[in-house]
Amino acid sequence: MEPDNPLLDDFILSLAPKTPAKICFIPTASADSAFYLVKFYRAFSGRAIPTDLTTFESASLPRNPAHTSELARFVAEQDIVYVGGGNTANLLSIWRVHGLDRILRHAWRRGVILCGVSAGMICWFRDGLTDSYGGLARLGDGLGFINASACPHYGGEKLRRPAYRKAIKQGLLGGYAADDGAALHFRGTSLVEVVTSRKRAAAYRVELVDGRVRETRLKSRFLGA
């Protein structure tokens, strides 16, 4: 989202156990957009070892155990998995066809860094607010690595905040909201810190307390000078 501001990308690379880090882009949510792939390689070439995992064209094929095993080996070789934005519901469906949901869970448990933007944020959580269905609605079936809900673009799209708060009021699991330019850094299932690439960006804990929606701005660290 910020081609001229690499602060969040730099932060992600700083978490890797070695340099140059192996970083794999998964653009499933954008139907493996070639434009998105080009943006990724421009962002990371020369300072990491970038690669990609595209699945969209073969998503309708029956699952092949040999193919699943090959995917598992490939993902296990990465230091970082970076998931792009787009349609979260489509992403989850395609990953489950390939068994990639389980492969990523295993990689996460082994210490592979998982990250992403927009759909690439929501997917790791139990639930979230998505526009996958044509309007803002509850996702319902995230991967659940983090037992909470998620809402990206919180301050960047005027309908996000009221829609997320309404959904929580109506029973959506409480969780985390992030403005564009804000990132939630989890280690395992514990939130370590919030970092930002923009001075005014923020992240929030949003939950239902005594029948009312409580929104708490989380302490953050600006990555710039």
Q: Which of 30, 33, 153, 197 is catalytic?
A: 153
Structural tokens at position 223: 């990555």
Residues 148 and 179 reside in one and the same domain: yes
Which domain covers residue 204, as residue numbers? 127-136+144-225
Confidence at residue 98, expressed as pLDDT on a 0 to 100 scale: 87
Judge whether 49 and 21 are in contact, CB under 8 Å: yes
Q: Which of 69, 92, 123 is the last residue of a domain?
A: 123
Q: What is the CATH number of the domain that holds 106?
A: 3.40.50.880
**118 has catalytic annotation:** yes
Cβ 99 vs Cβ 130: under 8 Å: no
- SS3 of 57, please? helix
Active-site option among 118, 132, 149, 220: 118
Segment among 8-12, 76-80, 123-127, 221-225 with least mean pLDDT: 221-225
pLDDT digits (tens, 9 = 90+) for 153-204: 999 999 999 999 999 999 999 999 999 999 999 999 999 999 999 999 999 9
Helix (H, G, I), strand (E, B) or coil at 58: helix
Phi, psi of 13 (to 5 degrees): -65, -30
Token pair in block for residue 90: 């489509």
Q: Which residues pair with 137 in a beta bridge?
A: 130
Q: Six-digit token pair at 134?
A: 């044509």
